[in-house]
Homo-oligomer: A and B are copies of this chain.
Amino acid sequence: NQPPALVLNFSSCSLPARCSGSAAKSLLFRFLPFLRWLPRYPVKDWLLGDIVSGFSVGIMHLPQGLAYALLAGLPPVTGLYSSFYPVFLYFFFGTSRHNSVGPFAVISVMIGSLTDSLVPSENFLESVNGSNATVNEELRDAARVELVATITVLTGIFQVALGLLQFGFVVTYLSDPLVRGYTTAASVHVLVSQLKNVFGVSQGEHSGPLSLFVTIIDLCQKLPDTNVGTLVTSIIAMVAILIVKEFNHKFANKLPMPIPIELITIIVSTGISYGVNLNDKFGISVVGNIPSGLKPPVPPNVSYFGQVVGNAFAIAVVGYAICISLGKIFALKHGYKVDSNQELIALGLCNFLGGFFQCFAISCSMSRSLVQESTGGNSQVAGVIASLVILVTILKIGELFRDLPKAILAAIIIVNLKGMFKQFSDLSTLWKSNQVDLLVWVVTFIATLLLNLDIGLAASVAFGLLTVIFRTQLPHYSILGRISNTDVYRDVAEYEMAQEIPGVKIFRSSSTVYFANVELYAEALKKKVGEPPLKKQQKKLEKEKAKKKKPSSNDARSPSLPQNAEDGPGLAVIELSVGESSVPPEPTLHSLGLPQPNFYAIILDFSSVSFVDTVSIKILKNIFRDFREIEVDVFIASCPVSVLAQLERGNFFSSAITKHSFFPSVHDAVVHISRERHQASVST
């Protein structure tokens, strides 16, 4: 059931001068992917599916668009615009065949927090007849639309720029656990922002760090004012939508298309609201006037750019991260490729152009995309059909929804969060599979809850990168031994079969060696090679117990710091072993008056070293020098060529340290050492 390959092979030339015509054509095909696939569109096979799917998605767009506009703090009609323009434009630019672009809860709540803080309702208070001050909603909404349109244009500019610069990879910094922790926290923000509509209380907007908790406390204080009618309406709507969605899910393969319960709910509730006049009788607030028709384009207000540049960048990155991860899942399932950079450009153009037509920033919706796929959608044509459904709504039907209660929209938003909240199960999955990723998830979640969606994202990305630093900074150090009759060397603490070569210490770090961990490396080396085999140590300690106190290991807590020479087990143990070691400490001269250790060579296994810097080269030189002083030779094995080149440039080599200390493998070094040793003993 593999769909036919739609994409032609038009690769651009590497020498533009020679084949500029073809290059221009290729560029055109690259930026307008529909030129590639539309001429080959298999009308018979795909069109019906795309139409059915397009209608289903369009019908979802209507309630979701209205709801997410509410979430973004904007008049409902902007949600319809955002469900039309970008969806239509994506047809021309997009490369994912199943993504349903358009309003998305996380992005909408990011916008909502901005409208709350930059254009708060308090700025539009005016006293009517000298009595209570009320908010002039028209002026406020106009200001908010202007602000959000500007953010959307800026978001689009960022996305197009990142796409053209082939910087789609920035999204790799948003690792899977981070995105899931972030969207889960965003869902909590969404939930909290909608509770006021569920309870029908009026609440001021709060912004800045910890505003989530301020909002919750504020809400709790206002709970006595709950409008029972609103609460009942939203609970009924939530229960109905939940049940039908469950039904849809259960009988997915028996239904031709899912029951459009959200659409039914808003139609029925609008009808009831209009018939019973809920607004006047029970004070249930409704969405209000929805103007018909499209508006002429308005340029963005560039004076806002400075204020929103950071947020626009965050929205650009998060919106893209969600789209590309969703797009890749579908591409994998259906065996086609999405072009990461072209997706970024496509999203950017949708946002940029949409911003001129009062759209707010969009991304992809998981729930809609799944419907688009499951109802037989095969290509971007489904998106066009969906956008046409919305266009008809905007032109003719939209205004009918003026009596739709806001509580219904809040119910739709909250029910749609169900999938997001399922991500809490990541906690147990990650606990079992990878605790560092769990930590990233939890830190992202908490940071996003506490610091809100913009600073929280920045803090989370910084933390995610710091975990990499920590992991490379706290590597696992081991002494290797040979697995008998092989050339394989393994950690003696982990492999019982691995036997240390007598007199030779083979040391390995699991990570590369650079400024932040090289002192730790040197300390660990000195500590590890100084330790005699465990059993011997224990025996000795039992003997010594009565005589003197055991050298403590309290220094282990501060691993990166040099120990007082007298505290470390290293020297103490060496002294002991000089006396009565069973592995013969080769009897050489104690020329420098220093204690002679029970080994005469150290091999540093460099197979995990991927780069070195000036700090690590300095410390490595010290290691060579320090061990030479106690007549121990140091060798380096399995050093990658690139690291060797870095060592050479960093003046590592001298008359004291030459490339003769370097061996391609640990075994080569061991063979060399034992040969030298043999020759030395023969000649004496």
Interface residues of A (CB under 8 A from B): 5, 7-9, 11-14, 19, 22, 166, 168-169, 172-173, 175-177, 328, 332, 336-341, 430, 432-434, 436-437, 464-466, 468-469, 471-473, 475-476, 483, 486-488, 490-491, 494-495, 510-512, 514-517, 519-520, 549-554, 557-558, 560-567, 607-608, 610-611, 613-615, 617-618, 622, 638, 640-642, 646, 649-651, 664-665, 667-668
A610: B residues at CB distance < 8 A? 471-472, 475-476, 510-512, 608
By a CB distance below 8 angstroms, the chain B residues around A166 are: 557-558, 561
B471 touches A172 (CB 8 A): no
User: Nearest Cβ distance between residue A603 and chain B, in whole angstroms?
Assistant: 15
The chain B residue sitting closest to A622, CB to CB, is B332
Asked if residues A649 and B434 are in contact (CB atoms below 8 Å), the reply is yes
Secondary structure of the A contact surface, majority rule: loop
Contact A560 B14 (CB under 8 A): no
Please report the C-alpha to C-alpha distance between residue A649 and residue B435 in the assembled complex, in whole angstroms: 10
Flag if B665 contacts A9 (CB, 8 Å).
no
Chain B residue with minimal CB distance to A8? B566
Q: Do the beta carbons of A9 and B567 come within 8 Å of each other?
A: yes
Question: By the criterion CB–CB under 8 Å, are B564 and A337 in contact?
Answer: yes
Given known contacts A516-B172, A608-B610, A642 and B510 CB-to-CB distance under 8 angstroms: yes
Closest Cβ of chain B to A306, distance in Å, is: 15
Q: How far, in angstroms, from A495 to B640 measured CA to CA in the complex?
A: 11
Find the B residue at minimum CB distance from A16. B554
With A469-B468, A664-B490 already in contact, the answer to whether A564 and B615 are too (CB < 8 A) is no
**Are B613 and A558 in contact, with the CB atoms below 8 A?**
no
A462 and chain B: residue at smallest CB distance: B462
- Per the bound structure, the CA–CA distance linking A553 and B562 in Å amounts to 51
Closest chain B CB from A245 CB (angstroms): 28
Task: Point out the residue from B11, B486, B552 that lies within 8 Å of A567, measured CB to CB.
Answer: B11
In Å, the complex CA distance between A539 and B646 comes to 35
Task: Let me know if B511 and A512 touch, CB within 8 A.
Answer: yes
Residue of A332, A554, A667 with most partner-chain B CB within 10 A: A554
Chain B residues with CB under 8 A of A8? 566
Interface pair A341/B667, CB less than 8 Å apart: no
Chain B residues with CB below 8 A from A471, complex form: 514, 610-611
| CB of A317 to closest CB in B, whole Å | 14
Smallest CB gap from A665: residue in B: B488
List B contacts of A483 (CB < 8 A): 664
Residue contact A560 to B337, C-beta cutoff 8 Å? no
Question: A617 — which chain B residues lie within 8 A by C-beta?
Answer: 433-434
**Which B residues touch A566, using CB under 8 A?**
5, 7-9, 11
Are B562 and A340 interface neighbours, CB within 8 A?
Answer: yes
**A551 nearest CB across to chain B (Å):** 6
Closest residue of B by beta carbon distance from A618: B176
Say whether A172 contacts B650, CB under 8 Å: no
**Are the CB atoms of A641 and B494 closer together than 8 Å?**
yes
**A613→B436 contact, CB < 8 A:** yes
**6 pairs, A vs B, C-beta closer than 8 Å:** A13-B552, A166-B561, A175-B515, A332-B622, A339-B564, A465-B466
Q: When A434-B613, A558-B168 are in contact, do A563 and B337 touch as well, CB less than 8 Å?
A: yes
The 8 closest A-B pairs by CB, nearest first: A175-B515, A9-B566, A169-B560, A166-B558, A340-B561, A510-B610, A433-B650, A11-B552
Find out whether the CB atom of B491 lies under 8 angstroms from the CB atom of A614: no
* Chain B residues near A565 (CB-CB < 8 A): 5, 7, 336-337
Q: Which of B341, B475, B650 contacts A558 (CB 8 A)?
A: B341
Assess the A176–B614 pair: CB atoms within 8 A. yes
Contact A608 B608 (CB under 8 A): yes
CB pair B491 A641 closer than 8 Å:
yes
Question: Of the candidates B7, B465, B476, B520, which one forms a contact with A642 in the assembled complex, judged by CB atoms under 8 Å apart?
Answer: B476
Evaluate contact between B434 and A614: CB separation under 8 angstroms.
yes
CA distance A465 to B466 in the complex (A): 8
A433 surroundings in chain B (CB, below 8 A): 614, 617, 649-651
